[in-house]
Copies of this chain bind each other. A is one copy, B any other.
Amino acid sequence: MASDRLTLGVAARLSRYLQVLTQARKMGKTSISSQAISEYTGVNPTQIRRDLSGFGKFGKRGVGYDIDSLIEQIRKILRTSGTHNIALFGAGNLGQAIASSSVFGDHGFQISAIFDVSPERVGQKVGDLTIRHYDAFAEIAAREGIMVGVLAVPGDVAQHVADDLVAAGVKIIFNYSDALLSVPSDVTVHTSSPAVELLYALYFYLS
């Protein structure tokens, strides 16, 4: 199991392919070549074929890869097939944007609950979901076994929420706030930082 664990690089690239494939599928494409994936990801076409061919023969020579089946294969390789329940914290502009978009749903993440503390928001609906009060989180987490939490809350309360998430057994925290979160070593924090990604892109443009 853990022995044939993918290396960081391979897993990162496979995820990246998955992103492009999912987008391409949304655009109505059904087939794609390693060359095309390369243009969208910046990864060398040979590298792409090598990454994929290490797990089986997914492509058709002269044609390329069938997008639907390749998505399925990669998700199988990443062992992330099926749906995963996530909980969303904060129903402000950002939280509502996340809840009403399909970004997570397209990749098998189902938002199973959305929490806030504002009396004006609690009880309102966002898509199919009703915003619940944050106090109900512990109970719901215990019942549904939430493993991933998404933080769309103000930075000054992020650590507090993160602590509660850790206590409830959440293992992966996606942090949209600007707070630096301290968590036990068995919990992964991923912080969204679009501005930093932009700086990175800007550097290469300016050079």
Contact = CB atoms under 8 A, between A and B. Distances in A.
A80 B148 contact: no
B172 A201 contact: yes
A178 B103 contact: yes
B93 A40 contact: no
A142 interface: no
B193 A103 contact: yes
A201 to B, nearest CB: 5
A100 B78 CA distance: 36
A12 interface: yes
A137 B94 CA distance: 25
Interface residues of A, number: 65
A180 B36 CA distance: 12
Interface stretch (A20-28, A48-56, A114-122, A161-169): A20-28
Contacts of A195: 103-104, 106-107, 109
Contacts of A15: 196-197, 199-200, 203
Contacts of A40: 180
Interface of A: 1-2, 5-6, 11-12, 15-16, 18-20, 22-24, 26-27, 40, 75, 78-80, 84, 86, 92-94, 96-97, 100-104, 106-109, 147-148, 155, 171-172, 174, 178-180, 188, 190-207
16 contacts: A2-B207, A12-B200, A19-B196, A24-B180, A26-B180, A78-B202, A78-B203, A86-B198, A93-B96, A104-B198, A106-B178, A106-B195, A107-B198, A148-B202, A188-B205, A190-B198
